[in-house]
Amino acid sequence: MSKFLAIAKGTRSVLPIEVPFGDTVIACGVRPMIAAEEASALAGATVFAVGKGISDPKPEHALYELALRAHVIAIACVDLESAGQSEPYFASADEVMAHLDRDRIALIHEKQQSWQDHCSVRQSAMGKDEFWNTILGCAQGVEESDRFLSESRPVLRASFTASICSLLLDSPEARHFYGSGPTPSH
């Protein structure tokens, strides 16, 4: 076994999550996916979308996106009670799509993507200049705003949103809205 495989063989970091489901909750873990698993999820989503009549599936197709999220969930959600937290929580993407609604699929996927970001070496914060340039771009048009939202990783979107909210709370408009009393803490 190579030195790298000895390192990679260890259990990947798992984040426990809970998602409301009727009178109970889905309590599972999400873990980062490796490239081969990403490829499997992309391939599965493509096969699904083609089977539904989309000849050239792309991320902007709602059916493709839904299928991709379901495949990611089927791969990256683990049973917290299994040995080493290594057993899948869902049997397949078909099971995810047959029993979960679009909102729960989106929520679980977003939690997995955020955890993937947290464990990643990719950019999860912006410098001051990039932050203000992004605000300017988003303010100038829907296209730039859509680009930022669709291309940025979840952890970066969350950080950006928190920064914008913090700035807004310190604005004259917020002081006017809340009157002379204290503004909400942030």
Tell me: the pLDDT tens digits for 155-173? 777 777 888 787 778 778 7
Query: What per-residue confidence (pLDDT) applies to 169?
Result: 80
Calculate mean pLDDT across residues 119-145: 74
Is residue 185 predicted with pLDDT exceeding 60?
no
* pLDDT, tens digit (0-9, with 9 covering 90-100), for 34-81: 999 999 999 999 999 999 999 999 988 999 999 999 999 999 999 999
Instruction: Indicate if the pLDDT at residue 128 is higher than 70.
Output: yes
Contact indicator for 73, 105 with CB cutoff of 8 Å = yes
What average pLDDT score do residues 125-133 get? 76
pTM higher than 0.85 for the full model?
no
Average model confidence (pLDDT) across the chain: 84
CATH number for the segment(s) 3-118: 3.30.2220
Asked if 31 contacts 4 with a C-beta cutoff of 8 angstroms, the reply is no
Domain ranges of the chain: 3-118, 128-178
What average pLDDT does this structure show over 127-142? 78
- The label of the residue with tokens 């050239």 reads 56
Q: Sheet harboring 77-78: ordered strands across? A: 15-21, 24-30, 77-78
**Residue 72 to residue 19: CA distance in whole angstroms:** 16
Choose among 100, 113, 112: nearest CA to 153: 113
Q: What is the pLDDT of residues 82-118, one digit of tens each?
A: 988 889 999 999 999 999 999 999 999 999 998 888 8
**How confident is the model over 114-124, as a mean pLDDT?**
75
